Amino acid sequence: MQNLLHNLNPEQLAAVTLPAQSALILAGAGSGKTRVLTTRIAWLIQTGQISPGGILAVTFTNKAAKEMQTRLSAMLPINTRGMWIGTFHGLCNRLLRAHHRDAGLPQTFQILDSGDQLSFIKRLLKANHIDDEKFPPKTLMYFINSAKDQGLRAAQVDASDDFNRKMVGLYDLYDAQCQREGVVDFAELLLRTYELLSRNQPLREHYQERFRHILVDEFQDTNDLQYKWLKLMAGAGNRRPNAVFAVGDDDQSIYAFRGANVGNMTAFEREFEVQNLIKLEQNYRSHGHILDSANILIANNSKRLGKNLRTDAGHGEPVRVMEASSDIQEANWIIDEAKNLIREGSARSEIAILYRSNAQSRVIEHALFTANIPYRVYGGQRFFERAEIKHAIAYLQLMDNPHNDSAFLRVVNFPTRGIGARSIEQLQDAARLHHISLYAAVPHVAGKAGSALANFVRLIEGARFETQNLPLPEMVRVVLDMSQLLVHYQTEKEGADRIENLEQLVNAAVLFVSEEGFNKEAPAFTGPAVRQPVLLTNGANDVIIDADAALPTVMSPLSAFLSHASLEAGDNQAQAGQDAMQLMTVHSAKGLEFDAVFITGLEEGLFPHENSAQEEAGLEEERRLMYVAITRARKRLYLSFSQTRMLHGQTRYNMRSRFFDELPDESIKWLSPKVQPSWFGQKKSAWDEVPMAGVNQIAQNFSQTSAQQSWRVGQNVEHAKFGEGVIVNIEGSGTNARAHINFGKFGMKLLDLSIAKLEKI
């Protein structure tokens, strides 16, 4: 027992060994919250207070769940595979699989990730002849998700005006269509589980009886429904409620835009009658200058629960700040600094590049690619979201659940097999008329269209028959062949990558089967405490089987694999592998740590983001995001911004982020002149001398010829809006040429020479 606890400070120790009551650990970044939570699980098991099967632990990502399991197995000689450690979505999926009938779902229900959900909604609007200009699909998606996140079905949403009444109607249609197709979106996983457990008393009591200890990491980012879900699981208000151990940091609440409610922390204290509130104030992650920067920055927020962080690690290196003239130059500077770190012995995976929006990664990726540095992008286009993988998955989904219309539409004519838009329309009409899925409607379509569609159905049925006794990876392989996907990409010009990805899908299946233990000898999800099947009966005499016992039989390897693909696609993490630099948004960096961190694009409008900076609440959330970003770094922190940036096809001229004014001067080292604008600057700084092959050729392109005009530095020009100005620099060439122009009272602008309406004067 000594072993488990000897690495803890007194406050951490107190937290780990609290009695079996609800507790809140409120502490800043890097203070060991996750470590405390994991150690508490181990301690509860080791001291015999609970069996591994009695623990329910909620993490924020699938990756965090895996890591927790790995750490636990290192602490205790147990097999953690079957333990209930996962994200809210993952845990709900597991419950719904086991109790699909009670939840009113088909056994093979499938999960829509957010990309699927959006196309589903577009399809729904079209089928119902709704004007998608008036009712944009994204708005509807947001409407539905936020209603579900609050635990509200369409009938429970208050609609104040015509627009909202229409949205409510569409929400209802959407749910009905999901039900017909046997698909659920992410928010539905939670809501369905919540409804299942609140309505079904024997089932609820069974799980309440079972999960005596519930532990939640990153509690500040739970939304209303998740909080209600926890209350239900814990039996809050029961005579003997379960112990909920919540750890969180109000300063790191960054998901308000998705309905997270930091108020849940205070509600939790009250409603769970928390006797034990523990604060951890020692930071074990970051050096002094980094921690000071984080502390001083976050002190600008007014709504805080209040806590401090200190470190024994010494000041360490100052935070380095870089001002670049363009996003390209920023990227090149990052790469030079990263190369230095690697030369000094840093592992690539210990270097992270963070940005506020995914769109920023392209320039950095390009520079990394050119410099031949391996890197991995977390978030963005993930493996399971690639088009070719989605196609292959759609075939598998149809074999598992033919009523999934999204999957049907994705591949019915891919690769092309002569089923045109007209045939699909006919089929959709038939499906609507008979209230059935597209697959089921095929026999109702006559003529040539009908026989082409029937061939497709035969293909799916054939694939199902051929693969019925095959292990999952072979099944995937057969489907790649039978669907003609491989052949299709062989004939495509850029198909080689896609074929490689499809091969990877077979590997993913191999890995999945071995990790989840799907083989005949060892049924899946049997955890360390091998439990006897628990049989209960409810009022209607239906047999309810405990999820653990039920899973191996109810969830086929294919269904499990398909859930995994959807959940992984929704997660912000990528697969592990070779030593590579880590690129991700600040949001996905939550909970992680790296020796060196670059925070890029620190510009007004970008970070803080223009959508949030307008009002105080939004700005405070942006500041918390910045706090999260800074506190990911152990030893080195780099901040950068750029005067100009190409984003979403537009060039932006940027002021540096206000967050720079909120950092302590003594912890910061400016690598470039602090005064803007600096492209006039005669003074060269170190990075100017770094050769930047083929990229930003500032001051080299003294003249450019656009379609009609030739331009040169020093030229006086007139612009319709900004008036008279003078060209001070030109970069890029041809249609990409852009110029910095000083417009006097309008200041400096960067304009596209091929687009801007400029006259020479």
Q: Which is nearer to ligand ATP, 29 or 91 (CB)?
A: 29
Q: Which is nearer to ligand ATP, 319 or 592 (CB)?
A: 592
Contact 529, 79 (CB under 8 A): no
**Pairing of the two strands 535-537 and 319-324:** unpaired
Stretch that binds ligand ATP, among 28-36, 91-99, 398-406, 595-603 (CB under 6 A): 28-36
Which member of 192, 228, 376, 632 is catalytic? 632
In the range 252-281, which residues lie near ligand ATP by CB under 6 A? 252
On whether 33 is known to bind a ligand per the annotation, the reply is yes
Phi-psi label, residue 190: left if phi above 0, alpha if psi -120 to 50, beta otherwise: alpha
Q: How far is residue 452's CA from residue 455's CA, in Å, rounded to a whole number?
A: 5
**Count of residues that interact with Mg ion, criterion CB under 5 A:** 3
Binding of residue 33 to ligand ATP (CB under 6 A)? yes
Q: Which listed residue (4, 24, 30, 527) binds ligand ATP by CB under 6 A?
A: 30
In the range 676-705, which residues lie near ligand ATP by CB under 6 A? none
Please state the length of the chain. 761
Q: Tokens for 101?
A: 């009938």
Query: Per-residue contact track with ligand ATP, 581 to 620, x per CB under 6 A?
Result: ----------x-x---------------------------
* The Cα angle at residue 94 between residues 88 and 97, in degrees rounded to 5: 135
Binding of residue 624 to ligand ATP (CB under 6 A)? no
Q: Which listed residue (182, 259, 527, 591) binds Mg ion by CB under 5 A?
A: 591
Q: Is residue 600 annotated as a catalytic residue, yes or no?
A: no
Residue 364: name its binding partner from Mg ion, ligand ATP, none (Cβ under 5 to 8 Å by kind).
none
Q: Which is nearer to Mg ion, 30 or 528 (CB)?
A: 30
Q: Which is nearer to ligand ATP, 636 or 645 (CB)?
A: 636
Q: Is residue 217 annotated as a catalytic residue, yes or no?
A: yes
Q: Is residue 208 annotated as a catalytic residue, yes or no?
A: no
Q: At closest approach, how far in Å is the CB of 33 from Mg ion?
A: 5
Contact 16, 43 (CB under 8 A): yes
Amino acid in position 753: L
On whether 31 is known to bind a ligand per the annotation, the reply is yes
Q: At closest approach, how far in Å is the CB of 315 from Mg ion?
A: 24
Binding of residue 9 to ligand ATP (CB under 6 A)? yes
Strand partners, 146: none
Residue 463 Cα distances to 263, 400, 550, 669, angstroms = 51, 11, 27, 63
Displacement of CA 423 from its chain's centroid (Å): 37
Q: Which listed residue (4, 16, 24, 29) binds ligand ATP by CB under 6 A?
A: 29
> In 158-275, at which residue ranges do the beta strands (DSSP E only) sit?
183-185, 213-216, 243-248
Please give the full DSSP string across 492-541, using - where no structure is assigned.
STTHHHHHHHHHHHHHHHHHHHHHHT-SSSS-TT--SSPPPPPEEE-TT-
Q: Which is nearer to ligand ATP, 281 or 593 (CB)?
A: 593
Q: Is residue 684 annotated as a catalytic residue, yes or no?
A: no
Half-sphere exposure of 437 (CA within 13 A, CB side): 19
Contacts of 534 by beta carbon, 8 Å cutoff, 6+ apart: 206, 545, 546, 549
Q: Which listed residue (11, 15, 24, 34) binds ligand ATP by CB under 6 A?
A: 34
Which member of 218, 292, 337, 731 is catalytic? 218
Q: Which is nearer to ligand ATP, 8 or 438 (CB)?
A: 8
Q: Which is nearer to ligand ATP, 33 or 40 (CB)?
A: 33
- Indicate the SS3 state at residue 696: coil
Residue 284: name its binding partner from ligand ATP, Mg ion, none (Cβ under 5 to 8 Å by kind).
ligand ATP
Q: At closest approach, how far in Å is the CB of 248 from Mg ion?
A: 9
Query: Per-residue contact track with ligand ATP, 334 to 373, x per CB under 6 A?
Result: ----------------------------------------
**Count of residues that interact with ligand ATP, criterion CB under 6 A:** 19
On whether 440 is known to bind a ligand per the annotation, the reply is no
First to last CA, the chain: 83
Stretch that binds ligand ATP, among 33-41, 341-349, 557-565, 723-731 (CB under 6 A): 33-41
Q: Which is nearer to ligand ATP, 522 or 576 (CB)?
A: 576
Contact 525, 548 (CB under 8 A): yes
Backbone angles phi, psi at 397, to 5 degrees: -65, -40
Which member of 11, 33, 192, 620 is catalytic? 33
* The Cα angle at residue 51 between residues 193 and 522, in degrees rounded to 5: 75
Burial classification of residue 674, based on how many CB atoms lie within 10 Å of its CB (0-12 exposed, 13-18 middle, 19 or more buried) = exposed
Q: At closest approach, how far in Å is the CB of 249 from ligand ATP?
A: 5
Q: Which listed residue (32, 82, 557, 570) binds ligand ATP by CB under 6 A?
A: 32
Stretch that binds ligand ATP, among 22-30, 89-97, 190-198, 429-437 (CB under 6 A): 22-30
Q: Is residue 218 annotated as a catalytic residue, yes or no?
A: yes
Q: At closest approach, how far in Å is the CB of 38 from ligand ATP?
A: 8
Helices (H), 402-494: 405-411, 421-434, 438-441, 447-467, 472-482, 485-491
Q: At closest approach, how far in Å is the CB of 716 from ligand ATP?
A: 54
Residue nearest to Mg ion (CB): 34
Residue 48 Cα distances to 16, 243, 330, 503, angstroms = 15, 16, 55, 46
Q: Which listed residue (12, 22, 31, 34) binds Mg ion by CB under 5 A?
A: 34
Helix (H) or strand (E) holding 177: helix 162-181
Residue 582: name its binding partner from Mg ion, ligand ATP, none (Cβ under 5 to 8 Å by kind).
none
Contact 473, 509 (CB under 8 A): yes
On whether 39 is known to bind a ligand per the annotation, the reply is no
Displacement of CA 367 from its chain's centroid (Å): 24
Contacts of 41 by beta carbon, 8 Å cutoff, 6+ apart: 55, 57, 68, 72, 213, 215
Displacement of CA 422 from its chain's centroid (Å): 37
Burial classification of residue 70, based on how many CB atoms lie within 10 Å of its CB (0-12 exposed, 13-18 middle, 19 or more buried) = exposed
Residue 635: name its binding partner from Mg ion, ligand ATP, none (Cβ under 5 to 8 Å by kind).
none
Q: Is residue 721 annotated as a catalytic residue, yes or no?
A: no
Q: Which is nearer to ligand ATP, 332 or 631 (CB)?
A: 631
On whether 263 is known to bind a ligand per the annotation, the reply is no
Q: Which is nearer to Mg ion, 151 or 591 (CB)?
A: 591
- Hey, what's the torsion of the CAs at 264, 270, 273, 274, to 10 degrees? 60
Q: How far is residue 728's CA from residue 681's CA, in Å, rounded to a whole number?
A: 12
On whether 514 is known to bind a ligand per the annotation, the reply is no
Annotated binding site for ATP: 27-34
- The residues binding ligand ATP (CB under 6 A) are 7-9, 12, 27, 29-35, 249, 252, 284-285, 591, 593, 631
Would you name the residues annotated as active-site residues?
Answer: 33-34, 217-218, 252, 632
Annotated binding site: 27-34
- The residues binding Mg ion (CB under 5 A) are 33-34, 591
